[in-house]
Amino acid sequence: MGKHDHHEHQGDSLADAARSNLEKSGEKWTDTRAAIFDTLAGFSRPASAYDIAELVSAARGKRVAPNSVYRILDLFVANNLAMRVESANAYLANSHPGCEHDCIFLVCDRCGEATHVDDDSLSQQVRKVATAEGFKSIRPVIEVRGICQKCN
């Protein structure tokens, strides 16, 4: 299978694609969810729930609890609207919410930037190994730590 082309969304197009995908799964696109998604999408590198809560709270003029943000981010991850960088406990908006991939990240130890890589052949190989070991419901998360090209 390998790599393939898909439409990368940004700005209003990304928010529209996220809303559409969430509603297709039977969930509601509330004002709070929209604010959290828009804030997440505004980050160029992985953002923590605390970063997002702080910005949403400032924009709304009232406190939004990080626990509430975590619940919404988990919903976004479950519905392919966001991806979680496990080692940083941080999140990235999925720029192509209609296209599901396993999470493969190149994470820079200097600047913290995480680049999402789509490589279905690598994911399939990991799934094959896990299945051979008796694992069920496999969703690989692969993170490669190092120094990005900009920082090198």
| 3-state DSSP assignment of residue 62 | coil
> DSSP characters for 32-60?
HHHHHHHHHHT-SS-B-HHHHHHHHHHHH
Q: Which amino acid is at 73?
A: L
Q: Which residues contact 85 (CB under 8 A, 6 or more apart)?
A: 46, 91, 92, 103, 105, 107, 114, 143
pTM to 2 decimal places: 0.79
More confidently predicted of 146 and 139: 146
Condensed to tens digits (0 to 9), the pLDDT of residues 128-137 reads 999 999 998 7
- pLDDT bin (cut points 50, 70, 90) of residue 12 is low
Given the DSSP bridges, would you call strands 114-116 and 90-93 parallel, antiparallel or unpaired?
unpaired
H-only helix segments in the chain: 11-24, 31-41, 49-60, 66-78, 120-132
Predicted confidence at residue 112, as pLDDT, reads 87
With 80 as the cut, is the pLDDT of residue 40 above it?
yes
- pLDDT bin (cut points 50, 70, 90) of residue 3 is very low
- Average of per-residue pLDDT across 68-78: 95
- Average of per-residue pLDDT across 146-151: 94
With 60 as the cut, is the pLDDT of residue 147 above it?
yes
Condensed to tens digits (0 to 9), the pLDDT of residues 76-117 reads 998 989 999 988 899 999 887 766 667 788 999 999 888 888
